[in-house]
Amino acid sequence: MKRNFNEWFASFTDSIATYEYYTDFNIVYKNIDKIKVELNIMNSLIGSKNIESDFDLLFNKYPEIRKCLPLLIAVREKELKVIDDGEKLKYNFTNIDDIELLKRFMRKTGLFDLISNHLVNNLVDYATGVEVGLGSNGRKNRGGHLMEDVLQGFIEKAGFIKNKNYFKEMYLKDIEEKWNIDLSALSNLGKVAKRFDYVVKTNNCIYAFETNFYSSNGSKLNETARSYKMLAEESKNIKGFAFVWITDGLGWQGAKNNLEETFDVMENIYNIKELEQDKLEEILK
């Protein structure tokens, strides 16, 4: 029986977030540990009345302090390019040894002022806060991984074993080589290096899964719906192969029309509630 899109959409969930989704302190602490020694060395400059000359002495003795400087302005990259009074400067914090250029960086970013005027009391604590803030930018990626974990749990509940009859993050070419199947219709004759989140092999079929969860709207959702619609249509003519899309999240509200277009032509599109109703076991039996 054909499903009703509005009823299906009404069963979407608003969140799959765990506590780690918001802030993963294990990653925060891991990143801080990499530069904790250098940050503690830099602590000796807090409250300095002669910050530039003290920085000279400190850098000459401990040049490795340079590697912790980008994080102090909330940047993870180790190489920065800056336009300064029309001059294009490049800072490589892995091996920079130009002390005058470094002091220019510290001065113009405001780090000298921050440290010398005692606006912070401990750079390890300060950097930990910066890491927490930067980590919030990774929530979108963590949300994607959470949805992958959700799907993986249901695949295993259905009785499949990782690296035996189900595989994570598998490219089209690897599927072709492993099971001697022609998927050139999906790769534009080998020109597209498509990777699926999961691939499940049963006695009768190879099931390639994509999964995602959108808690907020964005232009990517329309593009995703269109591309998966095309992928589903191209898959229909490949014997022994099926494309399955598991998606959810109220972010689809703003791209509902595009999602409905895909829903109308795609047989294997499901949400979390359907997985909870053992739909996956029904599909893969």
Task: Give the pLDDT confidence score for residue 90 in this predicted structure.
Answer: 93
CA distances from 170 to 6, 140, 220 (A): 33, 22, 22
β-strands 87-92, 166-171: how paired?
unpaired
Q: What is the mean pLDDT of residues 241-248?
A: 96
Angstrom distance (rounded) from CA 116 to CA 201: 62
For the chain, the domains span: 5-19+138-284, 21-137
More confident residue, 145 or 209: 209
**pLDDT tens, 177-194?**
999 999 988 976 555 678
Among 162, 146, 175, 163, CA closest to 235: 175
Task: Give the pLDDT confidence score for residue 1 in this predicted structure.
Answer: 62
Among 247, 263, 259, 219, CA closest to 12: 247
More confident residue, 217 or 63: 63
> Hey, what CATH class is 5-19+138-284 in?
alpha beta
Name the pTM for this structure: 0.74
In the structure encoding, which two tokens stand for residue 15, read together? 């969140």
Task: Give the pLDDT confidence score for residue 247 in this predicted structure.
Answer: 96
Task: Give the pLDDT confidence score for residue 285 in this predicted structure.
Answer: 80
β-strands 241-248, 269-270: how paired?
parallel
Half-sphere exposure of 4 (CA within 13 A, CB side): 4
